[in-house]
Amino acid sequence: MSDGGYGTIVMEKIIINGAKPLRGTIEVSGAKNAALPILLAALMVDDKCVIENVPCISDVTLSLEILSSMGCRIRMLTKNTVEIDSRFATGGVSPYDLVRRMRGSYYLIGAELGRWGRAYVGLPGGCDIGIRPIDQHIKGFRALGAEISVEGGYVKASADELSGASIYFDNVTVGGTINVMIAAARAKGTTVIENAAREPHIVDLANFLNSCGAKITGAGTDVIKIKGVDKLYGSTYAIIPDMIEAGTYMCAAAATRGRLRVNNVIPKHLESISAKLEEMGVEIIENDDSVEVCGNGELRRVNIKTLPYPGFPTDMNPQIGVLLCLAKGVSCLTESIYDNRFKYVEELKRMGASITVDGSTAIIEGGGLLSAAPVKALDLRAGAAMIIAGLAAKGRTEIEDIHFIERGYDDIVGKLRSVGADIKKVIIPSAVSFEKAN
């Protein structure tokens, strides 16, 4: 019998009082989309690895929980440095309910196949931004000699021995490139991936694996060669800065007509973002490992099409979409990677945006001011866009479902407060309380 105790549903929100220019310096954390593959690829190294500059985000916490449940010994040496000892790990036991919470967990397939010759991993989750199949991953694993089936919500794979092969991806896929690279690192012989993704996080993973003794060349180009080795050895490796986090803060500076120094960046990774912001009239000063963004001029309309790297990143679509609402004139924003990346438009319309989505293109009538409103984060980058919109809009904006944002942004509220934003995270007990079940 329940004791008649009462539970209360609590909700976390971000509250912003906007229209204050951001001024100061923001430090960018390690890249989420490099950290996830590198942490899970540590499974391939039956030794100890120390990974530095790991961002404090929930997807990383989740990845470490999954590794720990597989028998890896995890030690946090600092807030951003983790030691992973994979010597006692076993495959095929990753918890389904954890694996399905994010997209990056599917790197476990490549890691388990690569290390043990078999994999048993739940299908991944991740942001609902469109159909996200894994047919190219499966094509790559089969080329390496694995038998693959998808049944009961799991991917099952096995191979007597993984042998190097030539793989041509039908479409550019970051995840597919990463997964095959991981699996091929200890295969017999040489694997060549053609039409490979070129993102900086692909290069970062290749550099990490090479620091462990792998023989990978060509990462960052569309042809990657992996000469399989028998064993990988523990190493210490620092993750690159997060280019999407940097781009998000660059947009926030422009949206609030502020002046921001964004530290810990690799300017080359930001080239397409900087180029578009400059085309919009934003002043960008590039230094060795930082960029200065000065958004005090009027924002001009531009047309943008998202493309695989080095094109304009799809993960910056929502953030630049907010900026186009503030620019003078009509802009076209075309999404070429996903078929459901414009969900944030409906939330922006609550703030007065004038946007028409026609297939893969959003026609954005800018020039108006955004007005504060209660809105929701509908996925990770859409949530970041709501923060930028709230920072720009006069008045109080409340953002719900902020767990999406915390998947990929390390202390975004604290970082924005440090440069003058009136922003805070609040926990609100819901008016609804409920009697606990037995």
**Count of residues that interact with ligand EPZ, criterion CB under 6 A:** 28
Q: Is 57 in the site for ligand EPZ (CB under 6 A)?
A: no
Q: Is 176 in the site for ligand EPZ (CB under 6 A)?
A: yes
Q: Which residues of 140-152 are buried (b: 16+ CB within 10 A; e: fewer)?
A: bbebbbbebeeee
Stretch that binds ligand EPZ, among 4-12, 50-58, 124-132, 226-234 (CB under 6 A): 124-132
The DSSP bridge pattern shows strands 190-194 and 290-294 to be: unpaired
**Is 11 strand, coil or helix?**
strand
Which helix (H) or strand (E) element contains residue 260? Answer: strand 259-263
Considering the complex, state which of residue 32 and residue 48 has its C-beta at the smaller distance from ligand EPZ.
Answer: 32
Write the CB contacts of 407 (distance below 8 Å, at least 6 apart in sequence): 32, 57, 58, 59, 102, 380
Closest CA to 127 of 378, 321, 357: 378
**C-alpha to C-alpha distance for 286 and 264, rounded to whole angstroms:** 12
Stretch that binds ligand EPZ, among 22-30, 32-40, 366-374, 429-437 (CB under 6 A): 32-40
Q: What are phi and psi of 424, to 5 degrees?
A: -150, 160
Q: Is 100 in the site for ligand EPZ (CB under 6 A)?
A: no
Other Cβ atoms within 10 Å of 1 Cβ, number: 4
**C-alpha to C-alpha distance for 173 and 141, rounded to whole angstroms:** 14
Annotated active-site residue 251? The verdict is no
**C-alpha to C-alpha distance for 183 and 162, rounded to whole angstroms:** 8
Q: Is 380 in the site for ligand EPZ (CB under 6 A)?
A: yes
Q: Which of 49, 72, 127, 212 is catalytic?
A: 127
Stretch that binds ligand EPZ, among 3-11, 171-179, 205-213, 358-366 (CB under 6 A): 171-179
Considering the complex, state which of residue 208 and residue 338 has its C-beta at the smaller distance from ligand EPZ.
Answer: 338
Q: What is the DSSP letter of 300?
A: B
Q: Is 137 in the site for ligand EPZ (CB under 6 A)?
A: yes
Considering the complex, state which of residue 228 and residue 247 has its C-beta at the smaller distance from ligand EPZ.
Answer: 247
Q: Which of 63, 94, 136, 248 binds ligand EPZ (CB under 6 A)?
A: 136
- Contact pattern from residue 325 through residue 364 relative to ligand EPZ, giving x for each residue in contact according to CB under 6 A and a dash for the rest: ------------xx--------------------------
Stretch that binds ligand EPZ, among 91-99, 168-176, 395-403, 412-420 (CB under 6 A): 168-176
- Contact pattern from residue 199 through residue 238 relative to ligand EPZ, giving x for each residue in contact according to CB under 6 A and a dash for the rest: ----------------------------------------
Is the Cβ–Cβ distance between 324 and 366 less than 8 Å?
A: yes
**Is 349 strand, coil or helix?**
helix
Q: Is 269 in the site for ligand EPZ (CB under 6 A)?
A: no
The least CB distance from residue 239 to ligand EPZ, in Å, is 13
Q: What are phi and psi of 136, to 5 degrees?
A: -75, -35
Scan for tokens 């790991």, then name that residue. Answer: 54
Q: Enumerate binding residues for ligand EPZ (CB under 6 A).
A: 32-33, 36, 103-104, 127, 129-137, 171, 173-176, 197, 314-315, 337-338, 380-381, 408
